[in-house]
Amino acid sequence: MPARRPLMNLRSFRGMIGFRPGLTIVSAISATIGVAAMLSFSVNVSAFSRTAEDDAQIAKSLATMLRAGRTVISKNQDRINDPNVANKGIDGKAVLAEASTIYQQATGTNPASIDPSSLQGRLIRMQMDSIAEVMDVHQETINRQGVGFKGFIPAVFGRLVNEAFGRRAAGVAEIKVTAPSHLIRNPQVQPDEWEMEVIKTLESSSWPKDASYSATAPKNGNLAQRTLIPEYYGRSCLACHGSPKGEIDITGFPKEGANEGDLGGIISIALYR
C-alpha cells in the first residue's frame, strides 16, 4: 500500500544515475553508439535535476489541457450528433483555440506562452498538436450527415488524444485515463498494480477530494514521477454512468448507477526520470 502523502523525495534516487546500464562504458563501444550513450546520459541528468514538485506541476498542467479539450467536446456534443448539419465547424483549430482559452481561465497562463524549451513547454505543445490532429483526422465522422450519435464523445476524444500524445512523447511522458477496475469500460486502460493500490487511497474517505497523488515509482521497467488526478462524475456524466444501474446507455454499455460527485476516473500521468 503506497504511503498516503502527495510527494516522495527524489534525493535517494539521484545516486542511481551512475549505475544506469550503458552509461559508463562509452569507451568500449563504437563512436556512434558512444555519442548516443552520452546524449542519453545528458537526458537522464536533466531528468534527475527536476524536482518531484516540478513534475507534479507539469502533470497537472497536462491534465488541465486534457480536461479543457474534453470540455469543448462535451459543450459541442449536440452539434456533433446533429444529423442535419454537414460542416460542424469543430475542427482542430477551433477546438484547440477554445481549449486554450479554458486552460488559461483555469491556470491564468496562456499555454502558447509557456517556454517552448522547457519540458512543460515541449509537452504541452505535443498535447496541443495531438488535440488538433485528432479533431482533423475525424472530420469525416463529425460532419457525417444522416447519422445522429457518432460515438465521438469526450471519453473517446480523450483516449485518442492520449494515444497521439504517447507517440509524440515516447520515452518521456505518458498519459492515460483509467478508473477503479469495476468501472473500466475499455480494457486497454486497466490500472496497473501501482495505480490500483493508489486508487484505493484515493477512494478512502480520509483522502481530500480533488487532491492528486504523486510519487516516484517504476513504470514499464523505468523510474518515473507518477501523478494520479482523481475525477468525479458531474451531472452530464450521469446520462451514461448514472441510474438505473444496468440500463444500457447510448454507447452500448450498462450504466454504473453512479451519483454526482462519485469517483469515476483517474488521469494517470508518468514523466520518466
Q: Give the cell for residue 82.
A: 446533429
* pLDDT of the residue at 48: 56
Residue 6 is classified by DSSP as S
pLDDT, position 47: 59
SS3 251: coil
pLDDT reported for residue 1: 45
Please give the grid coordinates belonging to residue 206: 480520509
Q: How far apart are CA 172 and CA 47, in angstroms?
A: 9
pLDDT on residue 43: 39
Cα separation, 272 vs 13, in Å, equals 13
DSSP annotation of 191 reads -
Give which of 269, 214, 258 is closest to 52, Cα–Cα.
214
Surface-to-core class of residue 49, CB atoms within 10 Å of its CB (0-12 exposed, 13-18 middle, 19+ buried): exposed
- What are the structural domain ranges in the chain? 51-170
Consecutive H or E run containing 83: none
Q: Which pTM was predicted?
A: 0.82
Which H helix or E strand runs over 228? Answer: strand 222-232
3-state helix, strand, coil in the chain (%, to 5): 50, 15, 35
Gap between the Cα atoms of 58 and 92, Å rounded: 23
156: which residues sit within 8 A by CB, 6+ positions away? none
Q: What is the pLDDT along the chain (273 residues), one digit of tens a residue?
A: 444 444 433 333 333 333 333 333 233 323 333 333 333 333 343 555 789 999 999 999 999 999 999 999 999 999 999 999 999 999 999 999 999 999 999 999 999 999 999 999 999 999 999 999 999 999 999 999 999 999 999 999 999 999 999 999 999 999 999 999 999 999 999 999 999 999 999 999 999 999 999 999 999 999 999 999 999 999 989 999 999 999 999 999 999 999 999 999 999 999 998
